[in-house]
Amino acid sequence: MATKQLASWAVNLDAASLPESVRQCALRSLYNYIGCTIGGSNHATVSKACDALSPFFGRETSSLLGHEGTKKVDAQHAALINGIASHVHDYDDTHLATIIHPTGPVASALLAYAEYSGGTSGESLLCALTAGIEASCKIGLAVWPEHYDIGWHITSSTGNVGAAVAVGKLMQLSEDQMAHAIGIAAVQVVGLREMFGSDTKSFHPGRAAQSGLLAALLAEKGYTSSPQALEAKRGWANVVAGGGTPKLEQYVSELSQKWEIEANAFKPFPCGIVCHPAIDGCIQLHHEMKSKGLRVQDVQKVDATVHPLVIELTSKRAPKDGLEGKFSVFHGGAVGLLYGKAGPAQYADEVVTDEGVVSIRDRIDATPDKNLKPDEVYLTVHFADGTELKRHVLHAVGSLEVPMTDEQLTEKFVDQVALVLGSDGAKEASDTAWKIAEARDVTGVLGRL
Amino acid sequence: MATKQLASWAVNLDAASLPESVRQCALRSLYNYIGCTIGGSNHATVSKACDALSPFFGRETSSLLGHEGTKKVDAQHAALINGIASHVHDYDDTHLATIIHPTGPVASALLAYAEYSGGTSGESLLCALTAGIEASCKIGLAVWPEHYDIGWHITSSTGNVGAAVAVGKLMQLSEDQMAHAIGIAAVQVVGLREMFGSDTKSFHPGRAAQSGLLAALLAEKGYTSSPQALEAKRGWANVVAGGGTPKLEQYVSELSQKWEIEANAFKPFPCGIVCHPAIDGCIQLHHEMKSKGLRVQDVQKVDATVHPLVIELTSKRAPKDGLEGKFSVFHGGAVGLLYGKAGPAQYADEVVTDEGVVSIRDRIDATPDKNLKPDEVYLTVHFADGTELKRHVLHAVGSLEVPMTDEQLTEKFVDQVALVLGSDGAKEASDTAWKIAEARDVTGVLGRL
């Protein structure tokens, strides 16, 4: 039942009837995706892919977000390359219950197809995006955690289906065609965790996007798969999760009752999530010091009490470059205190090795306490004159309890996009991206990003 | 070790040092592939794929074998579409120990790339094909039978790696690049057995071909994966076979010692392998009757003693069309007796329902005997005048014990290709295909197929 039920639900999902909260989540997910994708567009991993694939580019219909020069390529390559860019900085969204980064595969396929086909409204786009994200996350929940534990990269191994559902929705496939599209997508299982740390990690969501798009294109022309693709004995869920799919039917039956997109979170800082509470607290302290006229240079010592995972994963005392900086809670805290920011610019190699930053970093200490929750921190800042500032962060910004505000999302967008398009270009792109929902036809909008 | 060892072996495989028997097997595999691919090229499944994908075709470098009209497309789409065509009649080769159909994914990628890059000799092509087939079959043996039992279509889920190795070999990748290509291919695991019976079954080897080609293209430009992609805890073998890869190292260490391509078999008849012994025996009886001046119309009864699987899988007494005919040992036997042939033409709808064929079909009986081997049959033909002819087939033609001769392969090629290119075109294509190994540059040769 699950395959047909998912297909039927997606085909019948009505843009005008989407709850406003869901629509907002879809817009925020899309906006964040656009920022991450432009932000990743000049990464070496993306450049290598473009270099390898440019001889195969077809008709130029679909934008490579953020790119100068070869701006448009065929829709299949746009899906692949934007998908790579969306994930390459590990800065994309997270459905926390499954650690799926859902928007990358879905939106990469969807935007590429929207531009190819022309005439899609912003509202249709958000509805299709929602359908795709719900599809990915529901089937992800069904196989979580076995599937991830086995070694699959769950973002891409569910994103293929999400991408097919989203594109199929925009195509207005029939229920039968949509079921076949889901099946054709489901046989293309991409992504192994062994690849984490290599270029291939971000290839995963890109290829998932492209696979889902391909599935929908084939189904549209009558290509058949199986109407039990997800739930059959030798179908997707059993094969990728080592057997047993009772949860699949359950989760699919909850479509439209519980919206997974409402549980989609955004990363405020481009580093491991465990050090986010400390960075958040340090940024708050930066603002408090500023308002009180205290100088960070006068700080003598900072004591942080953190969840033990913070020490285990991010305790690099003397990071040597940007990449190592991402594994140093001390660097994250230092730039938070100094600049009130821990964006991509603060993880540049030259910032990580900057004398002023190093000097503050060396004054920070962290003590593990297993009674804390992972997104909690206690901070005390000691000044030479005996002044003390204290801060307790119960939930870090970017958690479901304290989601990033639209303003914070905008800051994140502009900070990362400015590194590619410059400051003015970034602000312009941000304005354009926020307005995408209002577009009668998104084609023109995407061409400007 | 397995990934690096496979990469190193492939990079260093020397065309001039291939054993002659291996070279012959490679040529026969390639020849059979070309026949099957042209034979499948006008199938509805292929037409649907072309219909869906033609808007995305890029630079026209690589031939769609057998196609009129849009003859050349970009290499990535050529790999996909030829791969679909190669498998669509279930008439391709079989590595019996793993039931992998190895040549489809490997050759589809390889020929597409050879034409794209230009200047490849026939001998280099055979060497690269051999490397790819050995790669697919060795890693297939490592995960057999768990992997297939779980529900993966092992042809495509190993063919991705084989295709990458073959293309990488032609590209002359370094050992490091080849290891990365294997890794990028290995994350793209395509093919679920649930799809058997639908268009998506033959999509599997096509997508595997395309995925392997893509992997090699990326690796050539420095795209990285993992040098332990196949054997790591969360690498390919453990993930797709439910853990445990001691066999992987073992099989990879046997490269060049035991050649899997020598155990690659060819199907003489386009139907389930279990009824091949009965068809083989009936064809032998056709020739015996002819030489003795006996008429098949005078046959009163045919008694076949067969392995029980024949009854279980192919006992359709009154097939209604070509597809059902493939599941009828009675139809296969009847056309064998009548025409001395059971090629694609004998499985046309109008032949399956032909009165003369039906009349012979109804005179054939089959009795199961579990003491027979699966490729064994006893046949007795009773004539009205009391004459009896007997035939015992110990191993059916197409088995490893009684491989198809080059003449039989040629007949198979011409019979299926004639349905697409006509009789003269088929013979011409056959001559061209047999001579491919001698070509200084295969580009011109492929353009004529």
CA nearest A54 in B: which residue?
B58
User: CB–CB of B131/B449 below 8 Å?
Assistant: no
User: In 10 A of CB B132, how many CB atoms?
Assistant: 33
For residue A145, is the peptide bond before it cis, meaning its omega torsion is within 30 degrees of 0?
A: yes
Whether residue B226 and residue A198 make contact (CB cut-off 8 A), yes or no, is yes
Is 80 exceeded by the pLDDT of residue B442? yes
Mean pLDDT across B307-327: 91
Residues of A with Cβ-Cβ distance to B57 under 8 angstroms:
58
pLDDT in tens, A185-235: 999 999 999 999 899 999 999 999 999 999 999 999 999 999 999 999 999
Q: Is A50 on the interface with B (CB under 8 A)?
A: no
Predicted pLDDT at A74: 98
B70 confidence band (pLDDT: 50, 70, 90)? low
pLDDT in tens, B192-234: 999 998 999 999 999 999 999 999 999 999 999 999 999 999 9
Q: Is A76 on the interface with B (CB under 8 A)?
A: yes
Residues of B with Cβ-Cβ distance to A197 under 8 angstroms:
226
Predicted pLDDT at A43: 95
A69 confidence band (pLDDT: 50, 70, 90)? low
pLDDT in tens, A407-430: 999 999 999 999 999 999 999 999
Residues of A with Cβ-Cβ distance to B56 under 8 angstroms:
58-59, 74-76, 217
Residues of B with Cβ-Cβ distance to A184 under 8 angstroms:
200, 203
Of B194, B199, B228, the CB nearest to A232: B194
Q: Is A3 on the interface with B (CB under 8 A)?
A: no
Query: Which domains are seen in chain A, by residue range?
Result: 2-266+423-447 (1.10.4100.10), 273-393 (3.30.1330.120)
pLDDT in tens, A269-318: 998 888 999 999 999 999 999 999 999 999 999 999 999 999 988 999 99
* Chain B 144-163, residues with CB within 8 Å of chain A CB atoms: 150-153
Percent of chain A with pLDDT over 90: 92
Percent of chain A with pLDDT over 70: 99
pLDDT in tens, B330-371: 999 999 999 999 999 999 999 999 999 999 999 999 999 999
pLDDT in tens, B110-125: 999 999 999 899 999 9
Mean pLDDT across A69-80: 92
Place of tokens 């012994």: B277
Predicted pLDDT at B448: 86
Predicted pLDDT at B245: 60
Predicted pLDDT at B244: 61
Average pLDDT, chain B: 95
Is 90 exceeded by the pLDDT of residue A56? yes
Average pLDDT, chain A: 95
B69 confidence band (pLDDT: 50, 70, 90)? low
Q: Is A218 on the interface with B (CB under 8 A)?
A: yes
A444 confidence band (pLDDT: 50, 70, 90)? confident
Is 70 exceeded by the pLDDT of residue A244? no
ipTM value greater than 0.85? yes
Burial per residue of A273-299, b for 16 or more beta-carbon CB atoms within 10 angstroms, e otherwise: bbbbbbbbbbbbbbeebeeeebebeeb
Predicted pLDDT at A251: 97
Q: How many CB pairs under 8 A join A and B?
A: 178
- In the 3-class helix/strand/coil scheme, how is chain B assigned residue by residue? CHHHHHHHHHHHCCHHHCCHHHHHHHHHHHHHHHHHHHHHCCCHHHHHHHHHHHHHCCCCCEECCCCCCCCEECHHHHHHHHHHHHHCCCCCCEECCCCECCHHHHHHHHHHHHHHHCCCCHHHHHHHHHHHHHHHHHHHHHHCCHHHHHCECHHHHHHHHHHHHHHHHHHCCCHHHHHHHHHHHHCEEECEHHHCCCCHHHHHHHHHHHHHHHHHHHHHCCCCCCCCCCCCCCCHHHHHHCCCCHHHHHHHHCCCCCCHHHHEECCCCCCCHHHHHHHHHHHHHHHHHHHHCCCHHHEEEEEEEECHHHHHHHECCCCCCHHHHCCEHHHHHHHHHHHCCCCHHHHCHHHHCCHHHHHHHCCEEEEECCCCCCCCEEEEEEECCCCEEEEEECCCCCCCCCCCCHHHHHHHHHHHHHHHHHHHHHHHHHHHHHCHHHCCCHHHHHHCC
Using CB atoms within 10 Å of the CB of residue B222, give its burial: 0 to 12 exposed, 13 to 18 middle, 19+ buried.
middle
Whether residue B194 and residue A234 make contact (CB cut-off 8 A), yes or no, is yes
Is 80 exceeded by the pLDDT of residue A168? yes
B68 confidence band (pLDDT: 50, 70, 90)? confident
CB neighbour list of residue B220: distance below 8 Å, 6 or more residues apart: A52, B168, B171, B173, B177, B181
Q: Is A43 on the interface with B (CB under 8 A)?
A: no
Is 90 exceeded by the pLDDT of residue B242? no
Predicted pLDDT at A345: 92
Q: Is B189 on the interface with A (CB under 8 A)?
A: yes
CA nearest A153 in B: which residue?
B187
Q: Is A190 on the interface with B (CB under 8 A)?
A: yes
Rama region for A258: left / alpha / beta (φ>0; ψ in -120 to 50; rest): beta
Q: Supply B238's token pair.
A: 């453990």
Predicted pLDDT at A225: 97
CA distances from residue A266 to A30, A152, A398, B19 in whole angstroms, order as listed: 11, 22, 5, 58
Q: Which of A84, A157, A200 has the highest number of chain B CBs within 10 A, making it the mutation to test binding with B?
A: A200
Predicted pLDDT at B313: 86
Q: Which of B45, B117, B231, B239 has the highest number of chain A CBs within 10 A, making it the mutation to test binding with A?
A: B239
